[in-house]
Structure 1
Amino acid sequence: MLVETERLVITDLTKDMCNAFQKNSVDEDNRRFVPDEVFETLEDAHRTIEWLIKSYQYEKGPFLYPVLLKDKTNIGYVQACSIEEGWELGYHIAKEYTGHGYATEAVSTFLPVIMQQLKINIIYGIVLEENIASHKVLEKCNFKLDYIGIGKYQGVDKALRRYILNS
């Protein structure tokens, strides 16, 4: 995948992205909102990158793509993951780069491409109730609120919101 906007590049994951991948994974927001995607060591990050690169070959993914600034700085990722109901959108922009609209720009650019690639019309966004910034990103990207309540989030009952995009 290679998709560009005026400010961003969304591309395939490569092994040489390990340092940035690991660094972005340990920031405060990632620890809080996606703790199963925190890689404490470069070795953990390297193993995960190898697995994610291999997953591009499989029908059910997950399909994770780094989000880079035009100067090639790795600032986060967008992804589509297979879930019981279909597919879920995931994304993370490293804390030092938040507040500039990068998540909304990356998600709105990624969605049409990945939905066409997966041949789907529906994708979900599932976020913790306390993750207000992610609510705003999904709403700006035309997701509709589908559910507010308690649900499984990374295997634990949590207050969450489920959004749906039906293209």
Structure 2
Amino acid sequence: MYRCRGEIPDLETSRLRLRKLEDRDASALFQIWGNSDVVRFLNMTRLESIQETRDMIDLLNGLSESEDTLRWGIELKETGGLIGSCGFNIWQLSGADRGEIGYDLGKSYWGQGYMPEALSAILKFGYSVMGLNRIEALVLEENKASQRVLDKLGFKPEGLLREYQRNEQGEGYIDLQLYALLRREYRGWGSN
């Protein structure tokens, strides 16, 4: 059984390095998590300050220690700049061998192929290191760009989860599209 024990290993692709989020990332992440255009697809409240961003980094790193989540910062190798984050929101190994991914990217980096590249690294990690058989993603119906990313990686749409989560204001519920990719279907980045 996979145990992360708070250790988040570095993963690399041709253009990206995925690494543990650090306090020094707060300013870059605030540009992402504080941007209304980005967070509207994340079903989270837009962060209002660098301190809130530091608190979120601490929360995510703390959740990795208790093995409740595993989140990487996405860094451009060329510049060392952080452009987003991705990881496993949850996973269940005993009896299910499945996990759920989540991801975000700074708006100025949309449409450049960074997210499929980053997700391919965590998919490979999920199947080969964690021993997952099934990886899922939940996407808002209106987030067509995210659906295209998942399609590119070979994920299959499995249906609409009606009123699956509370909305960010806690005043109602949102519908989410369920996508999944099985280990036997995974072909790696660029081969789908």
Flag whether TM exceeds 0.5 (same fold): yes
Counterpart of 1:123? 135
Counterpart of 1:157? 173
Deviations 1:44-98 (A, max 9, x none): 11111112122222222x1110101111111101110127885211011111111
How many angstroms does 1:101 deviate by? 0.6
- Decide which structure has greater helix share: 1
Counterpart of 1:68? 75
* Identical residues among aligned pairs (%): 28
* Unaligned segments of structure 1, at least 5 residues: none
Given residue 82 of structure 2, which amino acid in structure 1 is its aligned partner? N
Matches within 5 A, 1:7-156: 7-36=15-44, 38-60=46-68, 62-70=69-77, 71-82=79-90, 86-148=98-160, 150-155=162-167, 156=172
Given residue 157 of structure 1, which amino acid in structure 2 is its aligned partner? Y
- Decide which structure has greater strand share: 1
* Unaligned segments of structure 2, at least 5 residues: 1-8, 184-192
Distance 1:58 1:37, change over 3 A: farther
Are 2:29 and 2:53, in contact at CA under 8 Å, matched by a contact in 1? yes
Counterpart of 2:187? none
Counterpart of 2:182? 166
How many angstroms does 1:142 deviate by? 1.2
Are 2:47 and 2:53, in contact at CA under 8 Å, matched by a contact in 1? yes
How many angstroms does 1:149 deviate by? 5.2
Secondary structure of 1:59's match?
coil
Normalised by the length of structure 1, the TM-score is: 0.89
Normalised by the length of structure 2, the TM-score is: 0.78
- Kindly report structure 1 stretches of 4+ aligned residues shifted beyond 6 Å: none
Are 1:30 and 1:37, in contact at CA under 8 Å, matched by a contact in 2? no
Mapped partners of 1:37, 1:3: distance in 2: 29
Are 2:90 and 2:101, in contact at CA under 8 Å, matched by a contact in 1? no
How many angstroms does 1:14 deviate by? 1.1
Mapped partners of 1:154, 1:146: distance in 2: 21
Secondary structure of 2:122's match?
helix
Given residue 156 of structure 2, which amino acid in structure 1 is its aligned partner? K
